[in-house]
Structure 1
Amino acid sequence: MGKRSRRYKEDYLYKELQDPKKAAAYLNECLKDEDPAVFLIALRDVIKANGGMSKLAEEIERNRESLYRSFSVNGNPGINTLVDALDVYGLEINVQPMRLHA
């Protein structure tokens, strides 16, 4: 990650992602990408913005290393881990019918 993108994340993005509404909008936008890794990267941004993986591990009583693996680009968090993590940040999963393309 370059110096400019690191500054953007530290100076702007992480502050914005402390707001549950903004974090939800960010995550929902990333869910639109066909690559599920995009969502996991975004979720890691939300985690970092709100105290990091160690704090999350403590909050949801999970192993920190396990969480790092689950939320990595190649990760595959279980539904319970995902729901528990989102809950810590005031977020929830919401299933909606797909929009049909005309």
Structure 2
Amino acid sequence: MSKKLRNHDEIVFEQMQNPEMAKAYLDVALEEYEQDGDIAFFLEALRNVVEAREGMTRLAEKTGLNHQNLYQVLSPEGNPELRTISLILHHLGYRLSVQPIQS
């Protein structure tokens, strides 16, 4: 019996179907942003969750955001406004929150 190998993206997208896994993934990406100040990793993680859970087209329809702008906002060069990030997260079933820094 032969075992089919799956690539990394397939595994990540499968895991993003689980809301808790997607939350943990986004949390790690946000922590990385806090450490190095480069938002590209967080935007890539958010884009991966969008693609796995909704798809860009469906999310654009649900949020009223322009499809092409959504791709641009979630690109490594994207510079989204806080309200755009909040809107995207809301439609994925999440919200932004503030937490104390653990020492």
Report the TM-score, using the length of structure 2 for normalisation. 0.83
Aligned: 1:8 with 2:11? no
Q: Counterparts of 2:94 and 2:20 in 1: how far apart (Å)? A: 8
Q: Counterparts of 1:22 and 1:46 in 2: how far apart (Å)? A: 10
Q: Give the alignment of 1:1-102 within 5 angstroms.
A: 7-10=7-10, 12-33=11-32, 34=36, 35-100=38-103
**Which structure 2 residue ranges, 5 or more long, are not aligned?**
none
How many residue pairs end up in the alignment?
95
**Which structure 1 residue ranges, 5 or more long, are not aligned?**
none
Matched AA of 1:22: M
Q: Counterparts of 1:76 and 1:52 in 2: how far apart (Å)? A: 20
Identity of aligned residues (%): 38
Q: Per the alignment, in what secondary structure is the counterpart of residue 7 of structure 2?
A: helix
What CA RMSD, in Å, does the superposition of the two structures yield over aligned residues? 1.7
Matched AA of 2:83: N
Q: Which has the larger radius of gyration?
A: 2
How far residue 97 of structure 1 moved from its aligned partner, in angstroms, is 2.0
Query: Could you list the per-position Cα deviations for residues 23-57 of structure 1 after superposition, in whole angstroms to 9, with x for gaps in the alignment?
Result: 11000011121221110010010011013211110
Report the TM-score, using the length of structure 1 for normalisation. 0.83
Q: Structure 1 residue runs of 4+, over 3 Å off?
A: none
Q: Per the alignment, in what secondary structure is the counterpart of residue 45 of structure 2?
A: helix
Matched AA of 2:20: K
Q: Counterparts of 1:84 and 1:50 in 2: how far apart (Å)? A: 15
Matched AA of 1:7: N
